[in-house]
Amino acid sequence: MNISIIGTGYVGLVTGACLAELGMNVLCVDKDEDKINNLVKGIIPIYEPQLEDIITRNYNDSRRLKFTTNIEEAVEYSKAIFIAVPTPTDETGIADLQFVFKVASEIGMYINGYKVIVDKSTVPIGTGQKVKEEINRILQKRNKCIDFDVVSNPEFLREGNAVKDFVNPSRIVIGAESEKAIDIMKKIYSIQDIFNIPIIITNIETAEMIKYASNTFLATKVSFINEIANMCELCNADVSVVSEGMGLDSRIGSKFLNAGPGFGGSCFPKDTKAFIGIGKTLGYIPNIVRTVIDVNDVQKKNMFKKIKKVVGKLENKTITILGISFKPETDDIRESPAISIIKELLDNKAVVKAFDPKAMDNAKKYYPELNIEYCDDIDFACIDTDCIVLITEWEQFKNLNFEKLKYIVRTPNFLDLRNIYDPEYIKNSGFLYEGVGRK
């Protein structure tokens, strides 16, 4: 089957590459010419484990994967057109759908026969119907009557694990209105069917809601455990043990119960805000999610306060940041807690040294105004520092050599914002230890 993916970012590129790997002919489109030119030259724009190999295999060898900036070619080429463009929140907190509707208009302009338009972008409930209206509006202008279906197929991949999640997802959700569209979607996902991946077939609105309900629920777990962590700090309890004790209850589950610097990334912050916007348009106030956002904002600020408490006056003090990406195994820094912490440190005239295995190029590119001293390795980042702050739990940071670090830092302070280390071990190594929700 010929498939086009419109929007070749984290979701689009992974989806396109993996569908090609599963045997489909895939044409990935992006309006960003540099990105497409680079992909054609073999330069992969994002870091995601295994992705480069899959792209190389399917672009160079099998030739099932192609890249273009020409949306007309892509629309004509394919039976199914996946939309994977950004849906950021605007200043008022509403999901900004301009990219989705632009693509819908373009599809309307070039559609030349029956197609399934598959929405993979995270969009407010009701967007699928609006996409259909927009395509029909353009078709009317063209004086054409062409059959098509719009399907909602939300994406649940986790950055850093995206390839594995695409090939072996927890579930596949298909919101559709016709058997024809459902059959095409089932064909696309026929390999996953062999592995008994649950497929939920429902209407478009329910599929759109499943995505928001999932992300807001996970964000709620994070803010919930961060609240517990804040209370633990006030009553000599250890949140790591509390999480373990809670998580063993299968009704609760242990995932997303790790206290830390607050959630970031390209999804939770924008999807929780957009959910409030969706509530507004429906005349409903989602109070739980509103509080989740407030708790998260406070949590990020609390991390800065922790550093200040340990270091004192920040002017001219050197702070080492380990980890800039919002989570390990990705170079994505969108809404990363590290960025807000770094900004506050710089505002308070601290000297910031940072090391991240993959995200430093993005930090340089998107925050050129931040006067960060980027370092080539952990040791270099820790020389003469007044405080090491571990923000992202990369594997490289899980076995720091504190015996050695003790001799290269100026002041032995260690802030473990992911609660990776045993506090006693760090203290015995001669460092002051501060975690989140435990002493």
Burial class (CB in 10 A: 0-12, 13-18, 19+), 11: buried
Tokens (6 digits) for 438: 């435990």
Decide whether 12 or 169 has the Cβ nearer to ligand NAD.
Answer: 12
Burial class (CB in 10 A: 0-12, 13-18, 19+), 92: exposed
Q: What is the DSSP letter of 89?
A: B
Tokens (6 digits) for 287: 């109070």
34-36-38-41 Cα dihedral, nearest 10 degrees = -140
Min dist CB 95 to ligand NAD, Å, is 8
Q: Whole-angstrom Cα distance, residue 242 to residue 252?
A: 12
Min dist CB 217 to ligand NAD, Å, is 15
Ramachandran sector of residue 252 (left: φ over 0; alpha: ψ -120 to 50; beta: rest): alpha
Active-site hit among 267, 375, 382, 387: 267
Angle at which helices 98-110 and 127-141 cross, to 10°: 40
Tokens (6 digits) for 24: 């489909």
403-404-406-410 Cα dihedral, nearest 10 degrees = 180
What's the full length of the chain, in residues? 439
Min dist CB 84 to ligand NAD, Å, is 5
Q: Whole-angstrom Cα distance, residue 340 to residue 337?
A: 5
Decide whether 210 or 415 has the Cβ nearer to ligand NAD.
Answer: 210
Cβ count within 10 A of residue 429: 18
Decide whether 33 or 424 has the Cβ nearer to ligand NAD.
Answer: 33
Min dist CB 51 to ligand NAD, Å, is 12
Min dist CB 334 to ligand NAD, Å, is 8
List CB contacts of 243: < 8 A, sequence separation 6 or more.
225, 254, 257, 258, 259
Decide whether 267 or 351 has the Cβ nearer to ligand NAD.
Answer: 267
Find the residue with minimal CB distance to ligand NAD: 9
**Where on the chain is the footprint of ligand NAD (CB under 6 A)?**
6-12, 29-32, 35, 84-87, 99, 102-103, 120-122, 155, 157, 159, 266-267
Question: What sections of 146-195 are H helices per DSSP?
Answer: 162-167, 179-188, 190-194
List CB contacts of 374: < 8 A, sequence separation 6 or more.
353, 354, 355, 360, 363, 364
The yes-or-no answer on residue 28 being catalytic is no
Min dist CB 29 to ligand NAD, Å, is 5
Decide whether 155 or 386 has the Cβ nearer to ligand NAD.
Answer: 155
Min dist CB 31 to ligand NAD, Å, is 4
Decide whether 197 or 383 has the Cβ nearer to ligand NAD.
Answer: 197
Decide whether 13 or 409 has the Cβ nearer to ligand NAD.
Answer: 13
Min dist CB 335 to ligand NAD, Å, is 11
For 322-355, give one letter per residue: b (16+ CB within 10 A) or e: bbbbbbbbbbbbbbbbbbbbbebbbebebbbbbb
Cβ count within 10 A of residue 130: 16
Decide whether 104 or 354 has the Cβ nearer to ligand NAD.
Answer: 104
Please list the active-site residues.
267
